[in-house]
């Protein structure tokens, strides 16, 4: 039988102290409540990185361009603006400038549609609006390029 030295059932203060010690320090295990703590061996780091990846995908637009694509797009946009200004002022009624501006407009639309397709293939999820916009750009681009090429072929044959 174990010795019970110093146990006095009438010592209320000692009993309360023993109860407090048995419960432990309430502030001792507060670290498990901290964000991203690894209390109890739970792996939370993959969850956090997965959440960050989904936020990064949401922020990335379907029309995010590489520097080379930016260069091509800005060059075509500048050529399109110049040709449209020339076709409405200096070369008004000139069929060659009109068909060239149509060809350049179609090429600009096709570059944007191709960039959206390339980004989608890379894993960037598009909204339904972006998908409709990409299809519309592709259809308009093909239409403008076809009109421009047929018109230029008609001008060359004359």
User: Is the per-residue pLDDT at 146 higher than 90?
Assistant: yes
Torsion over CA of 30, 32, 34 and 36, rounded to 10 degrees? Answer: 170
Structure tokens at 114: 């191709």
Between the CA of residue 74 and those of 17, 35, 125, 152, 153, what are the distances in Å? 78, 46, 25, 23, 27
- Does the predicted TM-score (pTM) go above 0.75? no
pLDDT tens for 36-64 read: 555 555 555 566 667 666 666 555 666 67
Residues 6+ apart with CB under 8 A from 145: 103, 106, 107, 110
Across 85-107, average pLDDT: 91
Higher-pLDDT residue of 30 and 104 is 104
């Amino acid at each position: 039988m174990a010795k019970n030295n110093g146990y006095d059932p009438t010592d209320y203060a000692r009993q309360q102290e023993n109860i407090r010690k048995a419960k432990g320090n309430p502030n001792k295990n507060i670290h498990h409540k901290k964000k991203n703590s690894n209390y109890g061996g739970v792996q939370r780091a993959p969850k956090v990185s997965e959440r960050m990846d989904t936020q990064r995908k949401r922020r990335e637009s379907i029309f995010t361009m590489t520097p080379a694509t930016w260069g091509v797009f800005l060059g075509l946009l500048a050529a399109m603006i110049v040709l449209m200004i020339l076709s409405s002022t200096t070369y008004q009624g000139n069929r060659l400038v009109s068909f060239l501006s149509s060809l350049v407009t179609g090429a600009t639309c096709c570059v944007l549609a191709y960039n959206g397709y390339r980004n989608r293939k890379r894993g960037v999820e598009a909204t339904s609006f972006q998908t409709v916009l990409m299809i519309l750009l592709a259809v308009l681009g093909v239409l403008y390029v076809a009109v421009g090429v047929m018109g230029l072929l008609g001008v060359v044959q004359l």
